[in-house]
Amino acid sequence: MSERPDRFGVDEIAERAEKAFAEAADLEVLEEARVRFIGRKGEITTLLRSIGSLPDEERPAFGDLVNDLRERILGLYERRKGALSDGAAEEDYFSGDPTLPGRRALSGGRHVLHQVLRDIKRIFFGMGYSLAEGPDVELDYYNFEALNFPADHPSRDTQDTFYINRDILLRTQTSPVQVRYMEKHKPPLRIIVPGRVYRNEAPDPSHASEFLQMEGLYVDRNVSLADLRNDVTYFVRAFFGSDAKVRFRPHFFPFTEPSAEADMSCFACRGSGCPICGKTGWIEIMGAGMVHPHVFRNAGYDPDAYTGFAFGLGLDRIAMLKYGIDDIRRLLSNDLRFLRQFWAETAGEVFE
């Protein structure tokens, strides 16, 4: 072993090892090949021994080279071993072209309903509202009784209710939080209350048995219908565009007096009439009204000292209108093909 080892001989050994490993059809043959190359008496050991024939100054570099070679061959061996142990799929994977670009890991995005809620919250926070919440599983008292729906009164029929027992139910609206909040806070107050609500309805493109509402409540001295109109109009223009118009139609809710439904001008036809607005030029967006004196009394407020307005809007409906979604059930479907369409907007967003 007097002849000086050729540096490129290293590559040659690696190639032979790779070939031997690739040709090994089972783990036994592979093991023989391993011993031949990196076993204690294998080629690498023999090569290392030849270090004695080198001049001192070349020895460290040579040692490094041979150690690298050993690592390389060990890597090739492990790979092949993995492929042989884990079957054909694994083998395909490892024998794939390593220069191909990688596959991007799937990253999620904010659900379209949460995007809508985020945007709506920003608008109301800007007007001085703060956030309040209440339970999904609610007492009959807060969902109905305190809101001036008497027991056995037909007004309850407007909200097909999932009862858990006589006194406990799944809230059919976010309005119970009005009373819960007023019981704990003194006026003035200005809150929005987003949350899930439940109704025992047959599902169809515009009805689901659970959906999202957002309540608004503003109580102070001398709050008037004009204030309601102002805040609703401001919100609608900030959210849908500054040319949107808002109108109020008389309506009935047991817990507001007077009560109204608010419509916005159809954003699709701008009021001239189209299929989206049912040819009326207007789209209903929320229920609203002045807080009923009975509700104030139930919450411990003096109705002679304070007035207030409340409104409730369907977040699913707002999302459907804004993004042209044709079936409310898609919002609960977890169908990525649907959900992904809305992710571009939240790419890179930090979720709080």
Closer residue to ligand PHE (CB): 37 or 181: 181
**Contact set for ligand PHE, span 262-301 (CB under 6 A):** 287-289
- 37 vs 298, which CB is nearer to ligand PHE? 298
Partnered with residue 259 across adjacent β-strands are 251, 289
Q: Which is nearer to ligand PHE, 187 or 312 (by Cβ)?
A: 312
The values of phi and psi at residue 183, to 5°, are -60, -30
Angle at the Cα of 154 from the Cα atoms of 151 and 157, rounded to 5 degrees: 100
Least CB distance from residue 231 to ligand PHE, whole Å? 13
**Shortest gap between Cβ of 214 and ligand PHE (angstroms)?**
9
Q: Indicate which single residue of 253, 282, 306, 342 sits in contact with ligand PHE (rule: CB under 6 A).
A: 253
Q: How far is the C-alpha of 264 from the C-alpha of 321, rounded, in Å? A: 11
Secondary structure tally for the chain: helices H, strands E: 12, 9
Residue 207 Cβ vs ligand PHE, minimum distance, rounded to whole Å: 13
Q: Which of 30, 311, 315, 320 binds ligand PHE (CB under 6 A)?
A: 311
Token pair in block for residue 43: 């080629």
CA distances from residue 88 to 18, 83, 128, 226, 264 in whole angstroms, order as listed? 18, 7, 63, 73, 61
Question: For residues 303-324, b (16+ Cβ closer than 10 Å) or e, as one string?
Answer: eeebbbbbbbbbbbbbbbbeee
Residues 116-175 that bind ligand PHE (CB under 6 A): 173, 175
- Picking from 339, 329, 36, 352, the residue whose alpha carbon sits closest to that of residue 211 is 329
254 binds ligand PHE (CB under 6 A): no
Query: What is the per-residue binding string for ligand PHE in 165-194, x denoting contact by CB under 6 A?
Result: --------x-x-------------------
Give the x-and-dash track for 209-238 against ligand PHE (CB under 6 A). ------x-----------------------
- Contact criterion met (CB below 8 Å) for 289 and 256: yes
Residues that bind ligand PHE (CB under 6 A): 173, 175, 215, 253, 256, 287-289, 310-312
